Structure 1
Amino acid sequence: MKPNNNSLLKKIQKKLKDFGPAFFIIGYVVGTGSVTSMVISGAKYGLSLSWALLLSCFFSYFLIIAISKLTIVSGNTLMFNFKKTFGKFFTLFIIIALLVSIVSSCIGVMGVVAEVTMEWITVKTSISFLNGPIVAIFFIGLLISLFWTGKHENFIKAMSIMVGFMAFAFIITSIMVVNEAGTSLAAFFPQIAIGDDDTGILIAGMVGTTMAGVCLASRSILVQEQGWTVEDLKTENKDAMSSMVMTFLISLAIMISATGTLYFQGIEVNDATDMMNALGPWVGNFAVTLFTLGIIGAGLSSIFPNLLLFPWLIADYTGTERDMKKPLYKFIVILVALSGLLVPFIGGKPVWILIASQALSPFIMPLITLFLIILLNKKEIMKEHKIGFGLNLALAATFIFNCYMLYVALKGFMNFIP
């Protein structure tokens, strides 16, 4: 009996290991940025912008399998392949653009985390000596110390559990909202004028958080570390599919919850604290605490990989080992982490700063997609594994979608910046 139990445990562990990159994508994408953009979208427009979520998940699937296949067949990561084929200039341009996205994301995420945490402290405790900057310094100090000591794995797992509870709460809330709405399904899809007001930057932010350039670049690193070979291409495809399906379902549940709890009641979301009402129907008074824990978990578990990603990208570009003990990499990590203090100290609306940071991703996605199409059709790189007509067509459609999202993002920023 014991050998059977051990065998079953090994099978489960192997399955979890095989789908490790999928868990990373779900954990990274369904974070503070995703929650923020989906809640604001639901609160302001119901499910009318859900098409952007659906299409971004759909096209992200093809990008994930394309990046994974390129990495598996070539044996090299995305940035190394880019430098080798297209030269240093374009590759450095993409890396710098990703760095801007990483830093702006850290700024917005920590701003939201500090604001939500302070609201919870104000509502639920009698503590009066804390403020936003002190809370931000504590969280950033915690992340830096975990990085410095290398004792971050259990912490990230604990944060992921907190995010999981919040995601589960949103799923339950969305079901309750639909059952108790007392209105037709059509009411969840109000008519809006696309391109007016702040819809452009919100759409770009929704797409940017799902089809995140940083996340796609890190996919290549994770696939290489996974040690997958051409025999694992089917496993990789399943992994990509499961990550995008789960991302879509969780994100849609957040939008539905916000529609039922905020949109139908005419509650606008201007600050991070306004989002706390989105879980009200199911958990009642506990909504503030659960949402706070979820946002802290989502925020810290997404900031931590962000701290590592720029050194990873440098290592990929140079083709060197990803040794995070190098003094240069440590300095970069600390510098990126300290950027999170900007909003708590200087001020601003962290919700819209975060959405704007996500809306930067569409600016580089057309170039990344175009480079992928070229590389995947090069016989000297892909050999007998050159992609066929089906994936070429899918990536061509993805390129067109990304060009349209670039246009939407540009228009959105022009309306967003006074």
Structure 2
Amino acid sequence: MAPLTSTLSNRLKRVLKNYGPAFFIIGYVVGTGSVTSMVISGANYGLSLSWALLLSCFFTYFLIVAISKLTIVSGETLMYNFRKAFGKPLTIFIITALVISIVSSCIGVMGVVAEVAMEWISVNTSVSFLNGPIIASVLILLLVGLFWTGKHENFIKIMSIMVAFMALAFIITSIMVVQEAGTSILEFFPKIEGGESTGLVIAGVVGTTMAGVCLASRSILVQEEGWGLNDLKTENKDAMSSMVMTFLISLAIMISATSTLYFNDIQVDDATDMMHALGPWAGDFALTLFTLGIIAAGLSSIFPNLLLFPWLIADYTGTKRDMKKPLYKLIVVIVALTGLIVPLVGGKPVWILIASQALSPFIMPLITLFLLILLNRDAIMKEHKIKTGMNIALGATLIFNCYMLYVALNGFLDLI
């Protein structure tokens, strides 16, 4: 009889193998961008924008399933399929838009991480020689060094555990504040008066969940997992679990921010304003827990971003994803260095990050339309073409994405 620890270890390995891409999506989506978007949404609008979170998770599920099925049946990744079917110019346009999203996200995330870290240092220590650029430089050197040596897996696991603790803290906080709230649940859904940032926040909430770069990488991960036609049910469960967990964690963050910030009339304008969101549950430790969580979430989301540009190039060309290539190493270093922009030049990293998330809706209608076309082509899908139900679901997703494009566009125009 096998030892109990061995049996548990084997079960855990099976779960990680079957749901690896789901954990990647949760880890990527529930990062600094997601925390920032949900905290600002809750602080400024209560739960009135939770509809955007719900719909984005709902429609993202169908996109994940569609991308995975296309990859499994065709045997090719998303961008390679796009290039073969729709030509180089349109595919390069999509990749360029995704790269802009990647770079802008790195800029905003590192800005938020540096600002939060500096606030914690100033409150809890007497250290005076550190500043934003120094902190950002150290973190960038750490990430590049881990990539260069290839010793990043354990580091990412540690960061993921820290993010999980922060997510758990938000879930506990959300439960506590709802139970202890002396107000009607309807007060969690205030009437939105509107404003110049409302459209941008809505687009940010949707963009951080329905992230184009994350969906593009889904195809690569499915291919690397070696999933075949027999794994379609596993893939569906994987997609469902990732979106359910993403929704629950994101909603918990929004609820916590509503109770701790919105009801106390605390507006979020800087990254340091978000640090009060865990106050009721964590007490004096809230600042440290939030800081550690944001740093971990930032590093664990920046690292995949560093890899995604080379991945997209390999995806487009249909070549091996060899991160040891000099070109790929150079790209990783350049993308990483963009994280110094906000600490050196200045700006409001919170709104830069929100804006970077709000860029995703600009490319999603085209990706959804291309998916819909490819999944109905006999030459690619053969007997595995999608049925009426999936066509309706993706059609509704396309309409939703077009509406979000309109919302995002208005959000950016309101800033001008």
- TM-score bucket (shorter structure): over 0.9
> 1:138 aligns to what SS in structure 2?
helix
How much has 1:197 moved relative to structure 2? 2.2
What is the aligned partner in structure 2 of residue 184 from structure 1?
184
Aligned match of 2:173? 173
Structure 1 position 13, deviation (Å): 1.1
Is the aligned partner of 1:213 residue 2:212?
yes
- Deviation track 1:298-351 (CA, whole Å, cap 9, x = no partner) reads 000000000000000000111100000000000000000000000000000000
Aligned equivalent of 1:128? 128
Aligned residue type for 1:66: A
Query: CA separation in 1, counterparts of 2:325 and 2:155?
Result: 23
Separation in structure 1 between the aligned mates of residue 93 and residue 357 of structure 2, nearest angstrom: 18
3-state DSSP class of the match of 1:2?
coil
Structure 1 Cα separation of the partners of residues 11 and 268 of structure 2: 45
The residue matched to 2:278 in structure 1 has which SS?
helix
Aligned length: 416
| TM-score between the two structures when normalised by the length of structure 2 | 0.99
**Cα shift readout 1:276-295 (whole Å, capped 9, x = no counterpart):** 00000001010000000000
Query: In the TM superposition, what whole-angstrom CA distance separates every residue of 1:368-417 from its partner, at most 9, and x where no partner exists?
Result: 00000000000110011000000000000000000000000000000123
What do the CA deviations read for 1:125-164 (whole angstroms, capped 9, x no partner)? 1100000000000000100000000000000001001100
Q: How far 1:18 moved relative to its partner?
A: 0.6
Cα shift at 1:9: 2.7
The corresponding residue for 2:100 is 100
Q: 1:33 maps to which residue?
A: 33
Q: Which amino acid aligns with 2:49?
A: L
AA at the equivalent of 2:61:
Y
**CA shift for structure 1 position 17:** 1.1
Deviation digits for residues 209-255 of structure 1 (CA, Å, limit 9, x no counterpart)? 00000000000000000000000000000000000000000000000
Paired AA for residue 378 in structure 2? K
Stretches of structure 1 lacking an aligned partner (at least 5 in a row): none
In structure 2, C-alpha distance between the alignment counterparts of 1:8 and 1:154, rounded to whole Å: 20
User: What letter corresponds to residue 327 of structure 2 in structure 1?
Assistant: L
Give the match for residue 335 of structure 1. 334
Task: Tell me the distance in 1 between the aligned counterparts of 2:315 and 2:48.
Answer: 40
Separation in 1 of the partners of 2:333 and 2:4? 47
Query: Are residue 404 (structure 1) and residue 403 (structure 2) matched?
Result: yes
In structure 1, the partner of 2:240 is: 241
**Aligned amino acid, residue 31 of structure 2:** G
Task: Report how far residue 6 of structure 1 moved.
Answer: 3.1
User: Who is 1:61 aligned against?
Assistant: 61
User: Which structure 2 residue ranges, 5 or more long, are not aligned?
Assistant: none
Q: What CA distance in whole angstroms lies between the structure 2 residues aligned with 1:288 and 1:242?
A: 30
Q: Distance in 2 between matches of 1:264 and 1:15?
A: 41
Q: Deviations over 1:54-98 (max 9, x none)?
A: 000000000000000000000000000000000000000000000
SS in structure 2 of the partner of residue 274 of structure 1: helix
Give the Å deviation of 1:8: 4.3
- SS of 2:48's partner is coil
Alpha-carbon RMSD: 0.8
Question: In the aligned structure 1, how far is the partner of 2:149 from the partner of 2:211?
Answer: 29
2:74 is aligned to 74
Query: Match for 1:365: what amino acid?
Result: M
Counterparts of 2:158 and 2:134, CA distance in 1:
23
Cα separation, 2, equivalents of 1:12 and 1:27:
18
**Which residue in 2 is equivalent to 1:268?**
267
Cross-structure match for 1:376? 375
Q: CA deviation at 1:7?
A: 4.0
Q: Sequence identity, in percent?
A: 78
